[in-house]
Each structure stands twice: as structure tokens, then as C-alpha cells.
Structure 1
């Protein structure tokens, strides 16, 4: 896993991969501008209604106003709307990265690091699109369903990391293998590297907490999964046993 991160950093500095940053970033930026122009008001009104109807938030707001502090709900609603806007933009950027940029990433990594690896995948674009839409739908629904828990700061951080780790792992891990691996090989690699793949997703999701990292994260995370997945597939093709799950986390 450490080698995958190291190789991904080297790959990210290549001109072709630097240019690849523009597509998911552009898609995310357009989505956020659209949200700010047309959806900020309706979402703010809905959240304001939700927060003001919460007995816990009302009591906390009254207590803070009573001791001379600012209104919690007024700032909280705007913060939540901003978080939703960034999440929507980032998720669209990730979807674009998975469907359109990932083939470029995998092609670059395979050509430079695994030139001997034969492409044995089938229905690559359709399989990638279906998987990305499925994972994206689960991510969005799960994120919305757990939205009330975002009012609790520590839980909000854990939920952010969990949902983004889920999206990274299930979307990019699949796309890293779909072009080169058969169904049987893909199942074997995913099973043997499950722990390492989730750890990669968790680390990248934690990095995503920092502002503006989402500009480079979709492509960089794709590179990490490409190196991680193709390396494991190369081991399978060489009749070398996969690392045990506990070892693959290292």
C-alpha cells in the first residue's frame, strides 16, 4: 500500500496526469456554481426549517443567546449548505474521474509500470458506468439519510471519512481492475486486497477533510488504486499467492 502511494505521487507529476486534473475539477466547479446559483436558497430554507424544529438545537440556541453568544442555527445552516455544495461537486468530480479519467490513469500506469500486463477485461465502459452509478447512488442516499447526525461535530467527521472511503474503495478499486482483469481475477484481487483498499480509501477520505484537496484527490486516488490493483493482478498472473489480508494492509 505504501508503494502504491509512492508510485502514485511520481505518476501524478507526469504532464499527462497533471492535465487529467482539469476534467474532474472542472466538472466539480460547474456543479458547485450551479448549486450556488439555483439550489442554495431552497436547501437553506429546508435546513433552516429542519433545524428550528429540532428541540435540541432550539434549546442550545436559546442557551447560547442567553449568555450573549451568537445564534448557532444561523451559522450552522450556512455551514451545512456549504458542506452539501462541496460534497455534491466532489461526488460529481469523482464520478467523472471514475468513468472518464480512470481509463487514462490505468492506461498510463499500465504502460509505464506494468507493460507486460495483458488486458483481459470485457464491456469495460458499461461495467464501469453501472458500478459508478450504483456506488454513487448508495453514497448520496446514505449521505442524505445520515445528514441529521452531521449536527454532532465528532460524528460528522467520522461520517465524512466513512462515506468517502466507501465511495473511493468501491468505485475506484473496481475501475482499476475492470480493463485488465477477468471476472474471476477481479474477484480474487478484490478479496485478497480488501483491507488495503479500505485503508487507502480511509486515508484519502481523511485527506479530503482539508480544503481544496478535492481538486487533486480524484485523480491522485485513482492513481493509488491503479498501482495497488494492477500490482496485485500482476501477482495473480505470475501465479504468486496474494498477500494475506493482514499483510496487504501494510
Structure 2
């Protein structure tokens, strides 16, 4: 099967059959409906397991390869005079992205029981994905232009707006999930829906990278302008020395 779809569904179906605690449940559901529920639950379980992987891979690929190029493009066109202090390296950015990704996965696993409550399933996953997007994209947007101190200051003072952008991007990421999940109902078109979902995920995260780049670089530009205004205009040299009365008198008395 495409992307090992058929073997994954078959393995999941065997796992459902081998679980003795669910044997009575399958028999009870089978008595209510003519179709075997495992024929639907096995593909659904594969979809639910594969969706976070697709999201994380798309996010990390965009953050590692597309976000730096998009940030440089925004900096060159909108902020050509903004100094690049390079407060973070590529290795540090990747390490941070992997670290917050692990935290997001743990949050997803811990919150899964709450997804059974209908309102929370529409709130918790976008919040977690939004937090992950905010942490990854905001760091990458400031990696080249801001110093470590400036980045920490901006992430502290703009935490809520950046988190809001991340959550909105998290809800935008729900659209590819619908396309991807439709592969359960339209298994014949699965080989088309998987690349389509990956492409939409990449497009959403590329848009997120541009949004974060514009916001973060503008905030950095304003921060430096405020600090320059507080410091005052730079002087070209030390102020001229003012002589004492004795020096002035000796100057006038000299021939």
C-alpha cells in the first residue's frame, strides 16, 4: 500500500483482534450494526497515529530550511538597515526545536483523555500546536537578527501576541487534518490525500514563518529604536574643555 497504508491498517486490525478486553465489545457492536466496526476503527487509528508525525515533520522541515530563508527575505525587503547580530546558531535552533517538540508530544499524550470531552477536543490540540509553533517560529525569526539578550526581551514582552499568532496558525493546521482524515472514508483516494495533506501542512507553516518574521523583526526594529532614543544621539567626540579664569587671563596677556 501507499506509504505502507495497507500493512499499517492490517497490523492495527490484528492488534484490535488480539486484545481480549475488546472481544465482547466487538461482538456487542457487531450485533447492532451489519458492518464490522474494526474495518472503520483500524484506518481511523492509523490516521490518528500518523497525523502528529506529519505535523511535526512538516513543522521541523519548514523551521529548519524555509524559515531562515523567509526571514532573510523579509529582512532584506522590509528592514534592510536592521543589523544582524546572529544571537543563535543553526545547531542551537534545531536543538531548541527538538526540545519543544518533545514537550508538545508529552502534552498531547497527557491531554488525550480530555479529548473525549467534545469542547476540549476543539481547544486543546490547537493550543498545543499553537504553543509549539510559537516557540519554534519566534526563535527562528529572531535567530539571525537579534542578540540573545534582545531575543529574550522580545519573547518576554511579546509572549501573548506571539502565542496568539501560534494558536491561529494551529487552527489553520486543522484544515489539513480534515483532508488527511478523509482518507478513512475515501481509502481509494488515499494516495492523493496524503501528499495533499503534507503540501497543505507545509504551506500553513510557511505562512506562519512569514507572519512570525514580519512581527518579530518589526518588534526588534522598534526595540532598537526605543533604546537608541533613550541613549540619545551619539557624540562625535569629547566636549571641548573649558579653560579656567587663569588660563583665559594668561591667554590674553601673552603676546
State the TM-score, normalizing by the size of structure 2: 0.68
TM superposition shift of 1:149: 4.0
Larger Rg: 2
Q: Does 1:162 align with 2:149?
A: no
Q: Does 1:200 align with 2:187?
A: no
TM superposition shift of 1:90: 2.0
Indicate how the Cα distance of structure 1 residues 72 and 131 shifts in structure 2: closer, same or farther if over 3 A, else same: same
Q: 1:182 aligns with which of 103, 122, 147?
A: 147
Q: Does 1:131 align with 2:96?
A: yes
Indicate how the Cα distance of structure 1 residues 50 and 89 shifts in structure 2: closer, same or farther if over 3 A, else same: farther
Aligned to 1:112: 77
Q: Which of structures 1 and 2 has the larger relative contact order (alpha carbons within 8 angstroms, sep 6+)? A: 1
TM superposition shift of 1:75: 2.4
Aligned to 1:228: 215
Indicate how the Cα distance of structure 1 residues 146 and 39 shifts in structure 2: closer, same or farther if over 3 A, else same: farther
TM superposition shift of 1:85: 1.4
Indicate how the Cα distance of structure 1 residues 175 and 215 shifts in structure 2: closer, same or farther if over 3 A, else same: closer
Indicate how the Cα distance of structure 1 residues 199 and 68 shifts in structure 2: closer, same or farther if over 3 A, else same: same
Q: Which sections of structure 2, spanning at least 5 residues, go unmatched? A: 177-196, 229-255
Q: Does 1:82 align with 2:69?
A: no
Q: 2:109 aligns with which of 119, 131, 144?
A: 144
Indicate how the Cα distance of structure 1 residues 108 and 239 shifts in structure 2: closer, same or farther if over 3 A, else same: same
Aligned to 2:231: none
TM superposition shift of 1:137: 1.5
Q: State whether residues 172 and 222 of structure 1, in contact with CA within 8 Å, keep that contact through their aligned partners in structure 2.
A: yes
Indicate how the Cα distance of structure 1 residues 54 and 184 shifts in structure 2: closer, same or farther if over 3 A, else same: farther
Q: Which sections of structure 1, spanning at least 5 residues, go unmatched? A: 1-32, 242-250
Farther off after superposition, 122-131 or 154-163: 154-163
Indicate how the Cα distance of structure 1 residues 71 and 102 shifts in structure 2: closer, same or farther if over 3 A, else same: same
Q: How many corresponding residue pairs?
A: 205
**Secondary structure of the residue that 2:226 maps to in structure 1?**
coil
Q: State whether residues 44 and 77 of structure 1, in contact with CA within 8 Å, keep that contact through their aligned partners in structure 2.
A: yes
Aligned to 1:191: 156
RMSD: 3.2
Indicate how the Cα distance of structure 1 residues 113 and 37 shifts in structure 2: closer, same or farther if over 3 A, else same: farther
